[in-house]
Amino acid sequence: MEQKEYRHIVRVVNTDLDGSKAIMQALRKIKGIGAMYASMVCTLANVDKSKKTGTLTDAEVAKLDDVIKSPAKYHVPTWMMNRRKDVENGEDMHLITSNLDFYTDNDIKIMRKIKSYKGVRHSLGQPVRGQRTKSNFRRNKGKVMGVTKTKVAAPAADKGKDKK
């Protein structure tokens, strides 16, 4: 029996994946790909989900790469994509790796520029999605603030009396 070539590191979408893990688990290390998306990519590329990443052929790696980079070509449903109806061009797309960070940063900059509620909350370093701030989010520039107690003033009745 002929032994297939085993690779310890497989490069998919400019990300190094561990060759000893199953391909579905290894794909989750790519930023922007979760469990459901990894399962869908394996199905569309006709790759066994439990197959070790190190035993993939070059053709299978190329097919995985193509499915991840252009999911619309493989008729992926729009609800699986992480950026639907983009503001600039109106397309449905799935962002991964550094593109995900770039688009997120740009979205926050636009919110700050137009001074939307979420943009103002981002600028102030406050929670954006409606969380309460009484007990959480007690950080100011990286330092923990804790609870600040006000000093209790002496009662007014004691001030008028002289001690003898």
9-80 classified as CATH 1.10.8.50: yes
User: pTM of the predicted model, to two decimals?
Assistant: 0.72
Q: Tell me what pLDDT residue 23 has.
A: 92
**Sequence spans of domains, the chain:** 9-80, 97-132
What is the model's pLDDT at position 164?
A: 57
At residue 23, the 3 state secondary structure works out as helix
CA 57 to chain centre: 30
Q: Tokens representing 132?
A: 């309460």
Q: Which residues of the chain have pLDDT under 70?
A: 1-3, 140-142, 146, 156-164
DSSP 68: H
* Distances from the Cα of 39 to the Cα of 68, 104, 159, angstroms: 11, 25, 75
| Token output for 70 | 């252009």
Q: State the number of CA atoms in the 13 A half-sphere of 72 facing the CB.
A: 9
In SS3 terms, 72-125 reads as HHHCCCHHHCCECCCCCCCCCECCCHHHHHHHHHHHHHHHHHHCCHHHHHHHHC
How confident is the model at residue 2, as a pLDDT? 45
Positive/negative CA dihedral, 49, 53, 54, 60: positive
* pLDDT tens, position by position, 75-110: 989 898 888 888 888 888 888 888 889 988 999 999
Contact 107, 86 (CB under 8 A): no
Euclidean distance between CA atoms 40 and 46, whole angstroms: 10
CA dihedral 29, 32, 37, 42 (to 10 degrees): -50
